[in-house]
Amino acid sequence: MAEANVFVNNPGLAEATREQDLIARVQRGQNELFYELVRPYERRVYAAALAILRNESDAEDVAQEAMLKALANIRQFRAEARFSTWLIQITVNEALMRRRRERTAIMEGIDDRRDEEGEYAPRDFADWREIPSEALERKEVRQRLAEALATLDRKYREVFVLRDMEQLNIQETAEALGISVASVKTRLLRARLMLRDLLAAGWEQGWFSRLPFEKGTKPW
Amino acid sequence: MVNEAISCERVWREISNYLEGDVEPGLRAALDEHFKTCKKCVSVLEGTRNVIRLYSDERMIEVPAGFGRRLERRLAQSGKGPSVVWSTRAAWLVPAAALLLIGGGIRVANSLSVPRPILSEHANPGKNIPPDMLVVVSADAKDFHVPGCPFIHNKDKERTLTAKEAMREGYVPCVRCMRKYLETADAGHISLEQEAQSDFDADDEAPSGAR
C-alpha cells in the first residue's frame, strides 16, 4: 500500500508539472514567479559561465545576464526541450559572446601543445580504488579538484563541464558550443584522461591523504 | 562468438565511449574481455570513472556567497523579475522555516539513538524510482545501479536487490544510469528514500550499511 503511494504521489511527475505550470504562468506575464522557476538551476548556470570565463565576477555577471535574457525570451521556450538545458544553452551563448567581446585569450593548460586529433596516453597505472564521495565534504578536496579542472585547456574544460558536471548529453553539448558531436567525444575523452592523471598526481601529493584508503593503494 | 583481441591504445581511445554506453556490442564484449586481464586498462577505467563520479557531484558546483540574493535583486531591478510585494509576501517563509528547523532539530535529536544508513547529506535522494525495480550494488561502493551500468565498481562483488532495499541499506542512486529518476528531484516531496526511512523507523533495527 505504501509502495502504491509512491506511484500515486509520483513526486518527480509532480515537480515536472509544477515547473511546467510555473513556465506557463511566467509566459503569461507573471514575471514575479521567474526567480522561483530558475532558482533550482542557479548553481548550474553559474558553473557553466565560470567554465567558459574562468573569472568569478564575470561568471556571476553573465549568469545574471543569461537569466534576464531567458526571462525576456521565455515565450520562445518550447516544452520539447528541458528547461534546464535551455537555460544552460543561453548561458553558454552569453559567456561565449562575452569572451569574444573582450577578446580574452585564456592560454593555459596541460594540453595546449597537443593536437586534438593526436593520441593521449594515460601516464599512471597504479592499483585503483574508488574515492568515497565523502571526500567531497572536505573543502580542500573540492578546491584541488577545481584547480585540476582549471588547468585544462578551455576547449576540454568546456566540454567536460557541460557533459559531466552540467549533465547535458553529447548532442546538447555539441549544440551549446557550436561544435560537432565527434569533437565533443574527442575532447571529452581527453579531458577525462587528463583529469585522471592530474588527480593521480594529486594522490602522490597527498590531496586525499586523510581518506581511508588501504595502505599501498591509490584511488587508481 | 570469438572476440578479437584489442590493444591497450585502442581501449584508451574507447574508454570514454565505453563509460557513456556508446560502443557497439561486439566492441563492448572485446573491451570487457580486455579488462579481465589488463590491470593497466582497469586502472585507466576506474580512474576515469572516479573522475566522472566526483565531478558530477553537485557539491563540486559552488556559487559565491549571496549569489542568489543578488540575482533576485537584479531581476527585480530590471522590472521583469520578482517585485517588492512578492518579497514581502514571502516574509511568511521566515517563521515557517524556523518551525521547520525546530521540527528538524527534534527529528535529529530523536535520530541520535538509532544508527542510520551512511548517507551524504548531498546524496541525490531516490525520488520516483520504482521500489521493486531490480538494481545492482557492490560491496565497495555506495551507489546502486541499473544492471549493466558501466559505473558499477567491483563487478565480482556485486549483488542484486530491489531499489527499496538498496535505499534502506544506505545506497544512493547512480547519477548516471538513474539520471532520469533524479532530474526532477525535490526534497519537499515524498520519496522512495523517505519511504525507506519510514520503514526503517517502523522496524527500529539497524540496517546492514552500505559497506
Domain shared by B191 and B162, yes or no: yes
> Domain with A212 in it: what CATH number?
1.10.10.10
Tell whether B190 is covered by a domain: yes
pLDDT class of A108 with cuts at 50, 70, 90: very low
Mean pLDDT calculated for residue range A160-189: 93
Residues B36 and B95 in one domain: no
Give the total number of structural domains in chain B.
3
Residue range A177-198: mean pLDDT, rounded: 94
- Closest C-alpha among A95, A107, A109 to residue A47: A95
**Do A114 and A219 reside in the same domain of the chain?**
yes
**A149 chain-B contacts, CB cut-off 8 A:** 55
Domain-embedded: residue B25: yes
On the question of pLDDT at B84 being above 50, the answer is no
State pTM to two decimals: 0.64
What values do phi and psi take at B189, rounded to 5? Answer: -110, 160
Instruction: Verify that B156 and B187 share a domain, yes or no.
Output: yes
The pLDDT value recorded for residue A185 is 95
In a domain, B117, yes or no: no
Q: How far is CA B120 from CA A29, B59, B145, B157, in A?
A: 40, 11, 17, 23
Contacts with B156 (C-beta within 8 Å, 6 or more apart), sequence order: none
Are the Cβ atoms of B48 and A192 closer than 8 angstroms? Answer: yes
Mean pLDDT, to the nearest integer, of A163-184?
93
Which pLDDT value is given to residue B135?
87
Residue among B115, B133, B127 at smallest CA distance from B209: B115
Establish if A145 touches chain B: CB-CB under 8 angstroms. Answer: yes
Task: For residue B70, give the chain A residue with the closest CA.
Answer: A64
Residue B196 is predicted with a pLDDT of 47
**Which tens digit of pLDDT belongs to each residue from B115-149?**
333 333 344 455 678 888 888 888 767 788 888 78
Chain B residues touching A196 at Cβ < 8 A: 44, 47-48, 50-51
State the DSSP H helix or E strand holding residue B67, giving kind and residue range, or none if neither. Answer: helix B67-77
Write out pLDDT tens, residues A109-130: 444 444 455 678 887 777 666 6
* d(CA B92, nearest CA chain A) in Å: 16
Do A187 and A114 touch, CB atoms closer than 8 A? no
Query: Of B1 and A83, which is predicted with more confidence?
Result: A83
As a whole-number percent, the residues of chain B with pLDDT over 90 amount to 22
Rounded Cα distance between B52 and A161, Å, is 10
Residues A7 and A67 in one domain: yes
Question: How many whole angstroms separate alpha carbon B126 and alpha carbon B137?
Answer: 15
Residue numbers of the domain that contains B37: 8-55
A42-53 and B67-77 are packed helices; what angle lies between their axes, rounded to 10 degrees? 100
At A12 the pLDDT is: 66
* pLDDT above 90: residue A193: yes
B163 to chain A: closest CA residue: A3
DSSP class of A161: I
Last residue of a domain, one of A33, A67, A102: A102
Same domain assignment for residues A15 and A42: yes
Cβ–Cβ gap A12/B120 under 8 Å: no
pLDDT over threshold 80, residue A173: yes
Do A10 and A48 lie in one domain? The reply is yes
Nearest to A68 among B54, B80, B140 (CB): B80
Tell the burial category of A211 from Cβ atoms under 10 Å away from its Cβ (0-12, 13-18, 19+): middle
| Average pLDDT of the residues in B85-104 | 52
Whether B119 is covered by a domain: the verdict is no
Mean pLDDT is highest, among A43-57, A109-123, A132-146, for A43-57
Are B52 and A192 a contacting pair at CB < 8 A?
yes
Question: Looking at A68, A102, A136, which one is the last position of a domain?
Answer: A102
Mean pLDDT on A97-103: 82
The pLDDT of residue A117 is 54
Closest chain A residue to B198 measured between Cα atoms? A2
Does one domain contain both A33 and A93? Answer: yes
CB pair distance less than 8 Å for B16 and A126: no
Co-location of A98 and A26 in the same domain: yes
* Residue A9's CATH number: 1.10.1740.10
Going by DSSP bridges, is the β-strand pair B134-138/B172-173 parallel, antiparallel, or unpaired?
A: unpaired
Residue A106 has pLDDT above 50, yes or no: no
Domain with A79 in it: 2-102
| Average pLDDT of span A83-108 | 81
Using the Cβ of A212 and the Cβ atoms of chain B, whether some distance falls under 8 Å is answered with: no
> Which of A93-102, A178-187, B189-198 is most confident?
A178-187
- Per DSSP bridges, beta strands B158-162 and B143-144 are unpaired
| Residue A155 in grid coordinates | 576547449
Q: Which residue of A has its CA nearest to B124?
A: A133
Which of B81, B186, B59, B61 is closest to A36 using CA atoms? B81
**What pLDDT score does A172 carry?**
92
Is residue A27 scored above 50 in pLDDT?
yes
Asked if residues A205 and A129 have their Cβ atoms less than 8 Å apart, the reply is: no
Q: What is the mean pLDDT of chain B?
A: 70
**pLDDT band at B85; cut points 50, 70, 90:** very low
Could A32 and B57 be called an inter-chain contact, meaning their C-beta atoms sit closer than 8 Å?
A: no
- The pLDDT value recorded for residue B108 is 42
Residues of A within 8 A of B52 (CB-CB) are 164, 192
Q: Are residues A130 and A218 in the same domain?
A: yes
Mark yes or no for CB contact B55/A14 under 8 Å: no
Residue whose entry in the numeric block shows the C-alpha cell 566526483: B54
Residue B172 backbone phi and psi in degrees, to 5:
-120, 155
pLDDT digits (tens, 9 = 90+) for B33-65: 999 999 899 989 988 998 999 999 888 888 899
Q: Are residues A24 and A98 in the same domain?
A: yes
- Assess whether A76 and A93 both reside in one domain: yes
Q: Does A120 lie in the same domain as A60?
A: no
- Residue A122: list chain B partners with CB under 8 A: 12, 43-44, 47
Cell of A129: 580504488
Number of domains within chain A = 2
Domain boundary among A70, A102, A134: A102
* B-chain residue closest to A118, CA distance: B13
Residue B183: closest CA among A10, A12, A34, A45: A12
pLDDT value for B100 = 60
Percent of chain A with pLDDT over 90: 50
ipTM of the complex, rounded to two decimals: 0.78
User: Is there a single domain that holds both residue A72 and residue A90?
Assistant: yes
